[in-house]
Amino acid sequence: MTSIVQSLKQTNIAPIAILGAGAIGQLMYHKLSINTQEPHTNDVVFIGRDKQTALQQLSFIDLKQQPHETLATILGTDDKRLAQVELLLVCVKAYQVEQALIPLLAKLSPQCHIVLLHNGLGPHLPVAAALAKYPEKGLSLGTTSQAALKLNQWQVKHSGVGVTQLGHFCGSFMSKELTARLTALQSDNQTIEWHQPVLPVLWQKLAINAVVNPLTALNQCANGQLAATEYQSQISAIIDELVQVAKCDGITLDKAVISARVYQVIELTSANFSSMYQDVAHNRLTEINEINGYICQQAKAHHLKVPNNQELVDKILKLSQS
């Protein structure tokens, strides 16, 4: 125990922190820190919910089925070392972003750059508003199709390669060093793409989630089953509404391109059960408000009607409340 406490005191800097230790949060942790020889000189940490800092043994199985063990630092919300965090990857569920992140902003380094990496859209708006008080901080948004499976609370398996798409949203830009650090993940099977502007890419991902997530949850099926002809007209209507709302939001999307991408993901992830299917099956909160709910919210602001997306929101909310 003494040696753990001493090691913890020696942990010098924590320029990169991850908020949210779900499958993607842990995958990002391992990918960013795996080349570090000494666990205690590792500059990647988690930020936990407790006030006190703790150490946690983590296991990771990489794509070559190689196991890795790491002793990770989970910084407490009272730890002064939060002030050294220069990059914060936010990997919590969309509905947790505001509550988890906004109270931390004042404690992070004045130049800290925040990256939101969650399904859906919407939380970037209150976060951007809160960041207006911190002119040196900045916000980037992203999405990843990397696949990771949580085998237990602290054991994650990298289960499939994908693309991580990132781009600046507001405030100060990410430093060259941190941009290079994230881009370097590319060397390890992950594709990292930088997009400017980033919102069109996030609307494209929103289309995938707006179709696959509620339909698999409501029909209790794997993603691949949505390729059946019986879903075609509903999928087309969901995308039609989304493309119209995006247009009013200043984002031009090509319906044919979006549809092709949605069906490509349905095929590539055919054996998977979507995150919303799993949330509903385990009686957990879903991200419906940040997925189809965001389309409905923006539609309302533009006086548009989106009955197909609204019906999915209503049905999922009813299902997850019952």
Query: Which of residues 15 and 200 has its CB atom nearest to ligand KPL in the complex?
Result: 200
Query: Which of residues 27 and 47 has its CB atom nearest to ligand KPL in the complex?
Result: 27
Least Cβ distance, residue 205 to ligand KPL (angstroms): 8
Query: Which of residues 83 and 257 has its CB atom nearest to ligand KPL in the complex?
Result: 257
Least Cβ distance, residue 144 to ligand KPL (angstroms): 9
* β-strands 44-47, 67-75 pairing: parallel
Query: Which of residues 70 and 275 has its CB atom nearest to ligand KPL in the complex?
Result: 275
Query: Which of residues 16 and 208 has its CB atom nearest to ligand KPL in the complex?
Result: 208
Query: Which of residues 244 and 272 has its CB atom nearest to ligand KPL in the complex?
Result: 272
Q: How far is CA 281 from the centre of its chain?
A: 21
| Omega cis (within 30) before 15 | no
Interior/surface letters 219-255, b for 16+ CB within 10 angstroms, e for the rest: eebbbeebeeeebeeebeebbebbbbbbeebebebee
Least Cβ distance, residue 24 to ligand KPL (angstroms): 10
Return all residues near 256 (Cβ < 8 A) that are at least 6 apart: none
Interhelix angle 232-248/292-301, nearest 10 degrees: 50
**Are 104 and 77 contacting, i.e. CB atoms less than 8 angstroms apart?**
yes
According to DSSP, residue 136 is labeled: T
Tell me the C-alpha distance between 156 and 50, whole Å. Answer: 22
Tell me the C-alpha distance between 143 and 257, whole Å. Answer: 18
Least Cβ distance, residue 180 to ligand KPL (angstroms): 27
Instruction: Enumerate binding residues for ligand KPL (CB under 6 A).
Output: 119, 208-209, 212-213, 223, 265, 269, 272, 274-275
Least Cβ distance, residue 273 to ligand KPL (angstroms): 7
Cα separations (Å) of 95 from 98, 124, 147, 154, 287? 7, 11, 21, 22, 7
Task: Give the residue numbers marked as catalytic.
Answer: 205
Other Cβ atoms within 10 Å of 263 Cβ, number: 16
Return all residues near 193 (Cβ < 8 A) that are at least 6 apart: 163, 164, 165, 166
Other Cβ atoms within 10 Å of 298 Cβ, number: 19
Least Cβ distance, residue 208 to ligand KPL (angstroms): 5
